[in-house]
Amino acid sequence: MYGLMFPGQGSQFVGMGKSFYENFKIVKETFEEGSDLLNQDMKKLMFEGPDSELILTENTQPAIVLLSTALHRLCSDVYKSKIHVCMGHSLGEYSALVANKTLLFGDALKSVKMRGRAMQKAVPEGQGAMLAVLGADNESVEHICKWAETTTGLKPLEAANFNAPGQVVISGRAEIANFLKDNFKTSTLAQSIKAKFIPLNVSAPFHCSLMKPAQDEMESVLKNIKFSEPQFAIIQNVTALETTDILTIQKNLISQISAPVKWVQSVNRAKELGVKTLIEVGAGKVLSGLVKKIDSSELTPLNIETIEDFKKLEQHFGS
């Protein structure tokens, strides 16, 4: 069985999709459609940058969904009806919902543009932070966050992304995150929990309760968008469970803005459903790397970062 996975924010880079744009009509047409829908030259933004413009959340989010949709349109003639389930990492959930026909491309693109703006303005710049926590299990990460909150007397600092075993991202107030990074090593907790902290270069503290204002704003946006019957199930970040129910999909899409991304749990659920191969559709191969860390024995990730990768995908499906 096959599943699709779509990357989220952080996978972007200047030049993303350029070779596909130059070589495939469907990709070029999708870029032009996206630019018209947003009234913005997405080709120039994505191929020329500068990086300082591309990494702005309100630009990054539609750029990633645009490329993922373009590549899915290209590849859908290759894997045809063999896809059984899809999922996306955070923002990637919108790309997944375009792929399974729940959302129209235009609705998804405009929604994530607004999503990016809402998430950016939810917390003033510099007041939020995210840290990658390496080497600690999920329970230990929860203990670490509670310790930092209790010690500083501030909130919140919360688990935001369960990306791979021993690789969890935490999110919250910059003051608490900085305290944790600077003081954990000398704490008594460090005697029983080994962890390394890496600050992430992000513009806001995503997937924590500080994002509630953005969640409320997106609830109003998404309640006015048509959700259609999916062609195949989606495993959503919030529950790590598959669904084809439109109301459930909409509710979870709203909740995911402030809720943690259960990526490990989602990948494992795909495996439980019988998926053997997960195809990463979009910029880079971050998700393929995470799948290898989660289960390299039973799951095979494929990605289409280059045209050569696309040719390998065609060979895989005998196209």
CATH number of domain containing 176? 3.30.70.250
> What is the reported pLDDT for 158?
98
In angstroms, the CA 199 to CA 170 distance is 10
> What is the reported pLDDT for 201?
84
- Indicate whether 84 and 40 sit together in one domain: yes
Domain assignment of residue 256, given as a range: 2-122+210-316
| CA dist list (Å): 149 to 110, 146, 158, 314 | 36, 5, 9, 51
Q: Which long-range contacts (CB under 8 A, 24 or more apart) does 309-316 make?
A: 310/20, 310/74, 310/75, 310/78, 313/75, 313/78, 313/79, 313/279, 314/78
In angstroms, the CA 23 to CA 263 distance is 33
Summarize pLDDT for 285-312 with one digit per residue, the tens: 999 999 999 999 999 999 999 999 999 9
- Indicate whether 97 and 228 sit together in one domain: yes
- Indicate whether 15 and 103 sit together in one domain: yes
Looking at residue 162, the DSSP 8-state letter turns out to be E
- Indicate whether 215 and 252 sit together in one domain: yes
Domain count, the chain: 2
**Helix, strand, coil tally for the chain in percent (to 5):** 50, 15, 30
In angstroms, the CA 94 to CA 105 distance is 9
- Indicate whether 58 and 177 sit together in one domain: no
> What is the reported pLDDT for 246?
97
The residue type of 56 is: L
User: 57 with 119: CB under 8 angstroms?
Assistant: yes
State phi, psi for 135 to the nearest 5 degrees: 95, -5
- Indicate whether 260 and 188 sit together in one domain: no
- Indicate whether 166 and 102 sit together in one domain: no
Indicate the SS3 state at residue 233.
strand
- Indicate whether 108 and 152 sit together in one domain: no
Residues with active-site annotation? 90, 207
In angstroms, the CA 229 to CA 87 distance is 16
- Indicate whether 36 and 90 sit together in one domain: yes
Task: Out of 202, 233, 266, pick the residue that ends a domain.
Answer: 202
| CA dist list (Å): 304 to 84, 108, 284 | 19, 22, 8
Please identify every stretch of the chain with a pLDDT value under 50, giving residue numbers as ranges: none
Task: Out of 156, 181, 202, pick the residue that ends a domain.
Answer: 202
Indicate the SS3 state at residue 198.
strand
In angstroms, the CA 280 to CA 306 distance is 12
Task: Out of 202, 220, 242, pick the residue that ends a domain.
Answer: 202
- Indicate whether 312 and 283 sit together in one domain: yes
The owner of tokens 């503290």 is 205
Tokens linked to 273: 């459903």
Say if residue 304 is exposed, middle or buried (CB neighbours under 10 Å; 0-12, 13-18, 19+). Answer: buried
The residue type of 233 is: A
The owner of tokens 């995210």 is 130
For the chain, how long is the longest CA-to-CA vector? 60
| CA dist list (Å): 311 to 38, 141, 273, 303 | 31, 41, 28, 11
- Indicate whether 227 and 107 sit together in one domain: yes
Nearest CA to 207 out of 162, 273, 142 is that of 162
In angstroms, the CA 60 to CA 51 distance is 10
What is the CATH number for 297? 3.40.366.10
- Indicate whether 62 and 116 sit together in one domain: yes
> What is the reported pLDDT for 125?
85
The residue type of 121 is: K
> What is the reported pLDDT for 319?
57
- Distance, C-alpha 193 to centroid of its chain: 28
